[in-house]
Amino acid sequence: MALINLMKDTSDFNLVFRTEKQDVSPRITQVYLEMSTHCNLSCRSCVRNSIVDFKNSHFSPELMRRVLPMLKKLRLDRIVLLGFGEALCNPDIKHLLKSLRTLKTKIVLVTNAAFLSEEMSSYLVNLPLDEIYVSWDDDIDGGVNINRKGIKADLFRMNIEYLLKLKNISHDERPRIGMEMVATKSNYHLIPQAIAYGSSVGIDKFIVSNIFPYSKEMGKEILYDIGSKPPVNLKKYLSKEIKNSNVVTANQSVDITRRCPFIEKGTIFITATGEVSPCPELAYTHPAFYFGSDRMHNRFIVGNMINQSIQSVWDNKQFSEFRKNFVHYDYSDCSFCYQPDRCGMRTDESVDCFCNTTPCGECLWAKDIVICP
C-alpha cells in the first residue's frame, strides 16, 4: 500500500525511479539566431539536403527591429549566429550585426569562411564580434574535397589567415577564432593536419564533432557505437593534438548519462522566419539514420517572433511543460536501444516509449556525440 501511495505522487515517483537528472535553466541565457537558410556550399553531410519542405529565407531587418528590444531585456550569456544556412549569405548581415553589437553580451558567429573577404573580415574585427568559428571537413592542403562542395582549401586558408592578421593588428583579444570539424570514416585521417595548420596560423580552439546521420549514406560514416569500441577512437587518435592544442573532442559512446546542453543553458532558437524552437535540432523536420534504422524527427515549434514576445513564448504552457520533462529526463533512451529497427514507435508513430512526440530521447547532442560552438 505504501508503494502504491508513493506512485500516486508523480514527483516522488520520479525521484525514486528516475536515474537521470537534468539541470533546467529557469531563464533564457542564450539565443541562437538563424541569419539565413541560404548557403553557397552543397556539403554532402548537410541536413539541408534532407529537411522536409525546406525553404530559403533570410533573417530580415524588420524581424531584427522587433526582436532586438526583447533581447536587451534579457540577461544573456551569449547570442550564437548559427542555423541551417550560411549567416554571411544574408545581404543585410552587416546591418544585422551592427544592431546586435549594441547589446552587452557575447556574440558568436559560425561560418564556412567563404565570405570572409578582406572587407568582411575587417568589418567583423572592428565591430568586434567575440568569437568566430570557421568550419572545415576536408584536406586543408588542397586535396580532393570529400564533404565540402563549393569552396577550395586555398581560398579557405587565405580568408582565415587574413582574418587572423587583422585581429593581430587590432591588438584586441576579440574575436577569438575557432575551427569546427565533423569527423567521419572518410575524413578523420585529415583532421590532424587541419589542427596543425590552424595552430600554426593562430587559431585558438578546435572542436571535433561526430556527424549527425541525416541520410543512409551518412549513416555509414558514423564513428560512434552502442556498447562497443568505436571504429576509430578519436581521443586516442588525436592525443598529440589534444596535448599540444586546445582541442575539444566529441564522445563516441551512447552508453553515458544524458545532459541536454540547450535545456541546461536556457536556450531558444529563432529561425530566419521568426519561428521559435527549444534548440536547432527541433526547428525542422528531417530523417535520421541511427545504426541502420530510419527515423523521422518532427519539428517542435513553441512560438513565433512575428506576433509574440520572447518572454511570452518562454513562459507559455507548451514550452514550460516541455522543459519540465527534463528535470528527471522523462524520455526513453532511444539512442541506446539495442533493436532500433524493430521499434514501431519511432519509425511508424514518431513517439518514444514514453509517448513523447519530440525526438529528445535519441538526441546526439545530449550524449555529447554531436557538439557545436
With 0-12 / 13-18 / 19 or more C-beta atoms within 10 angstroms meaning exposed / middle / buried, residue 35 is buried
- Whether 270 and 305 have beta carbons less than 8 Å apart is answered as yes
Res 20: pLDDT = 81
Query: What pTM was estimated for this model as a whole?
Result: 0.92
Predicted confidence at residue 145, as pLDDT, reads 79
User: Would you say 94 and 60 are in contact if contact means Cβ atoms under 8 Å apart?
Assistant: no
pLDDT, tens digit (0-9, with 9 covering 90-100), for 140-172 = 999 877 888 889 999 999 999 999 999 999 988
Cell 564580434 -> residue? 129
Helices (H), 101-170: 118-126, 153-170
Tens of pLDDT along 338-372?
A: 666 667 666 566 678 888 889 998 899 999 999 99
Report the C-alpha gap between 184 and 145 in whole angstroms: 13
Question: Which residue is it, cell 591588438?
Answer: 171
Characterise 355 by phi-psi region: left (phi > 0), alpha (psi -120 to 50), beta (else): left
Length of the chain: 373
* Cα atoms in the Cβ-side hemisphere of radius 13 Å centred on 336: 13
User: For residue 280, what pLDDT is reported?
Assistant: 97
- Please write the tens of the pLDDT for every residue from 305-339: 999 999 999 999 999 999 999 998 888 888 777 66
Distances, alpha carbon 347 to alpha carbons 134, 182, 272, 340, in Å = 35, 26, 29, 9
User: Would the pLDDT of 11 be above 60?
Assistant: no
Cα–Cα distance measured from residue 264 to residue 285, given in angstroms and rounded to the nearest whole number: 23
d(CA 167, CA 169): 5
pLDDT band at residue 2 under the 50/70/90 scheme:
very low
Q: What percent of the chain has pLDDT over 70?
A: 90
Query: Is the predicted pLDDT of residue 7 greater than 60, yes or no?
Result: no
pLDDT digit string, tens, across residues 42-62: 898 899 889 999 999 999 999
Flag whether pLDDT at 37 surpasses 70. Answer: yes
- What is the spatial distance between Cα 144 and Cα 164, in angstroms, rounded to a whole number? 25
User: Out of 199-203, 222-226, 369-373, which region has the weakest mean confidence (pLDDT)?
Assistant: 222-226
- Cell 535553466 locates to 25
Phi, psi of 273 (to 5 degrees): -100, 5
Residue predicted with more confidence, 118 or 7: 118
Average pLDDT of the chain to the nearest whole number: 90
301, pLDDT greater than 60: yes
Residue 49 has a pLDDT of: 86
Give the relative orientation of helices 61-72 and 93-100 as an angle to the nearest 10 degrees: 10
Whose CA is closest to 329, among 237, 249, 259, 243?
Answer: 259
Q: Is the pLDDT of residue 292 over 80?
A: no
**How many whole angstroms separate alpha carbon 60 and alpha carbon 67?**
11
| Degrees to nearest 5, angle at CA 328 with 5 and 350 | 105
Provide the pLDDT for residue 360.
Answer: 92
* pLDDT 10s digits, 85-132: 999 999 999 999 999 999 999 999 999 999 999 999 999 999 999 999
Structure confidence at residue 25 (pLDDT)? 97
Which residue's C-alpha cell is 524520455? 331
Assess whether pLDDT exceeds 80 at residue 290.
no
Residue 49 near residue 39 (C-beta atoms within 8 A): no
Nearest in space to 165 (alpha carbons), one of 177, 179, 178 = 177
Q: How far apart are CA 281 and CA 285, in angstroms?
A: 9
Q: What is the pLDDT of residue 342?
A: 66
pLDDT > 90: percent of the chain:
73
Q: Is the pLDDT of residue 38 over 80?
A: yes
Q: Give the pLDDT mean for 19-44.
A: 93
Q: Which three cell numbers stand for residue 139?
A: 584536406
pLDDT class of 8 with cuts at 50, 70, 90:
very low
